[in-house]
Amino acid sequence: MHSNVNNEYSITRVSDDYWRITINHPPFNIFGPQSIPMLNDVVTEIESDPSVKVVVFDSAVPGFFQTHFDFVPPLETTTSMPPGPTGLPPLPDIFVRLARSSVVTIAEIRGRASGVGSELALACDMRFASREKAVLSQFEIGGGFTPGGGPMVRLPRLIGRGRALEVLLSGCDYPGEIAEQYGYVNRALPDAKLSDFVDTFARRIASFDKQSLVDIKEMVNASTLPSEKEVAAEWSAFITSVQRPAAQRIITELMKLGLQKNPDVETNLPKYTGEVNLPRLP
């Protein structure tokens, strides 16, 4: 077993054909512009290694798988980045490449997967969650803007139109058990059994013929993944919406309440987005 590490993502090669990618950006695993090249490096390494068959994403930060985008850096820091190999902007490019990769990808979700964290999980082939500790959400509507990393075009294919609209229009939290019922995750397991289950499952996949794994994933991809045009349209809608006055006002108010600093705000984000969206008294 050997590892290589950047500031936020470490690759542990459990074997030549089975890797673990661990997210480690305390205290909340917030995803910022600086995270994009680091995650891109990870995906490029996955793409370029001929031996790896299965990759598991997990977290080293208690309570958080990966959370939302960092609201402190100017938006231009992100929008000025050159497009990736698909021609899409960097973040949607990374998620499209991950989804279309020949490698089987699994999200092991323990803690909060909100915003980008949910989008990373949705870009993976499968998701397994802690029954007691996993929470998934697309909180963006509560911030006055739309998501950008693919959930508007991935969730309906995964959980159906009605439930996708429920998740996206409410901005509410979905604990592991409800996420399992909805199909947001494949299974929710007791927390004490989650890692062993995922490890055993990943090792089983890694034991199989790689070309057969590739063929199966390609055929499933053909009928289940959104087009790059749809992914591009979602990112464009996000960039437009986050610049609107309503979004800027709500984000400013959330930052004043302690977003990205106060653990209670990060842990109970739906509560705080609900408060800042209450009608104002004249």
Homologous superfamily of 2-209+222-276: 2-enoyl-CoA Hydratase; Chain A, domain 1 (3.90.226.10)
pLDDT of residue 214: 98
pLDDT of residue 126: 98
pLDDT of residue 46: 97
The structural domains of the chain, with segments of one domain joined by +, span 2-209+222-276
pLDDT of residue 280: 66
User: Which residues carry out catalysis?
Assistant: 119, 140
Q: Give the strands of the sheet with 104-109, arranged side by side.
A: 2-5, 9-15, 18-23, 54-59, 104-109, 126-130, 187-189
User: Cis before residue 27, ω within 30 degrees of 0?
Assistant: yes
- Among residues 71, 56, 62, 52, the alpha carbon closest in space to that of 26 is found at 62
**Residues in CB range of 220: below 8 A, 6 or more apart:** none
pLDDT of residue 1: 73
- Contact, 127 vs 107, CB < 8 A? yes
- Among residues 7, 125, 141, 130, the alpha carbon closest in space to that of 68 is found at 141
pLDDT of residue 282: 57
Distance of CA 189 to CAs 98, 128, 166, 168, Å? Answer: 25, 7, 23, 24
Residue with tokens 């790059």: 228
Q: For 227-248, what is each residue's pLDDT tens digit? A: 999 999 999 999 999 999 999 9
Q: For 82-99, what is each residue's pLDDT tens digit? A: 999 999 999 999 999 999
Predicted TM-score (pTM) of the model is 0.96
How many other C-beta atoms lie within 10 A of the C-beta of residue 260?
17
Six token digits for residue 251: 């984000």
Distance of CA 181 to CAs 48, 176, 178, 200, Å? Answer: 36, 9, 5, 23
Q: Which residues pair with 19 in a beta bridge?
A: 13, 55
Helix (H) or strand (E) holding 56: strand 54-59
Distance of CA 33 to CAs 14, 16, 76, 140, 187, Å? Answer: 29, 30, 10, 18, 31
Distance of CA 205 to CAs 109, 129, 211, 273, Å? Answer: 19, 18, 12, 41
* Residues of the chain with confidence (pLDDT) below 50: none
